[in-house]
């Protein structure tokens, strides 16, 4: 059994993500980010956790015209660049990846997809914070997906605190769950054979009140078990 060392991407609320993923027996973490200037430490990692945070600059998915929907303070292009390089490394070396919120969006962009830059501007309900706290809404899971096999239920409750989301899904990926208004809530490989483990969710399991929910505990356990067994 391999030692479990998870590289956790640096950013807003890093401590929340680090605490959640390391609150599991035998897990060590390494904080990875451009501020630490420690990309080489990814070589020590047996798994990568792509966390939430800043918006992804639209130039990375060839939509510079979207920039007018943002404030410059919404972006951190140094973080974008560092983490896109991380995803490239995981694919070259078949390192399991768990992505949450921004992590889902970044992965979709890396593989060639695009993003909805601002959900309310696209005529959807607000998926951002409400009075400083995450919103909660239902989610529907596609029964054809591996994600359905993992969580074992067709619908449930998740939280929400984002204003970007996946739009056009990258060719190698497929959407596996949706909010009632059609926002993509999770992605997986379309054809997972011979590919490294990849689990991408739009919600924030680290902030869910019910930590025993299959949308929390099952996701973390599955990722870490896959890391242990590589």
Nearest alpha carbon to residue 165 among 133, 129, 128, 197: 128
Facing residues of 157 across strands? 138
Element at 189 (helix H, strand E): strand 184-189
- The catalytic residue among 57, 162, 163, 204 is 204
**What is the spatial distance between Cα 146 and Cα 190, in angstroms, rounded to a whole number?**
10
**What is the spatial distance between Cα 3 and Cα 145, in angstroms, rounded to a whole number?**
29
- The catalytic residue among 45, 101, 127, 185 is 101
> Active-site residue 62, yes or no?
no
> Active-site residue 206, yes or no?
yes
Q: How far is CA 191 from CA 15, 166, 196, in A?
A: 34, 19, 11
Helix, strand, or coil here: 24?
coil
**What is the spatial distance between Cα 89 and Cα 178, in angstroms, rounded to a whole number?**
29
> Active-site residue 101, yes or no?
yes
Whether 111 contacts 84, CB under 8 Å: no
Which residues carry out catalysis? Answer: 101, 204, 206
């Amino acid at each position: 059994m391999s030692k479990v060392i998870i590289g956790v991407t640096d950013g807003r609320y890093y401590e929340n993500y680090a605490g959640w993923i390391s609150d599991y027996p035998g897990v060590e973490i390494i904080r990875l980010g451009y501020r630490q200037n420690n990309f080489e430490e990814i070589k020590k990692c047996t798994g990568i956790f792509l966390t939430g945070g800043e918006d992804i600059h639209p130039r990375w998915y060839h939509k510079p015209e979207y920039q007018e929907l943002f404030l410059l303070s919404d972006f951190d292009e140094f973080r974008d660049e560092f983490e896109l390089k991380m995803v490239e490394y995981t694919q070259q070396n078949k390192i399991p990846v768990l992505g949450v919120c921004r992590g889902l969006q970044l992965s979709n962009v890396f593989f060639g997809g695009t993003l909805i830059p601002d959900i309310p501007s696209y005529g959807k309900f607000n998926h951002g914070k409400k009075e400083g706290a995450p919103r909660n809404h239902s989610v529907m899971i596609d029964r054809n997906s591996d994600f359905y096999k993992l969580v074992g239920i067709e619908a449930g409750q998740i939280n929400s605190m984002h204003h970007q989301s996946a739009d056009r899904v990258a060719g190698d990926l497929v959407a596996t769950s949706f909010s009632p208004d059609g926002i993509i809530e999770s992605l997986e490989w379309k054809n997972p054979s011979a590919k490294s483990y990849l689990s991408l969710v739009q919600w924030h399991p680290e902030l869910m009140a019910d930590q025993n929910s299959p949308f929390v505990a099952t996701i973390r356990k599955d990722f870490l078990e896959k890391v242990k067994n590589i």
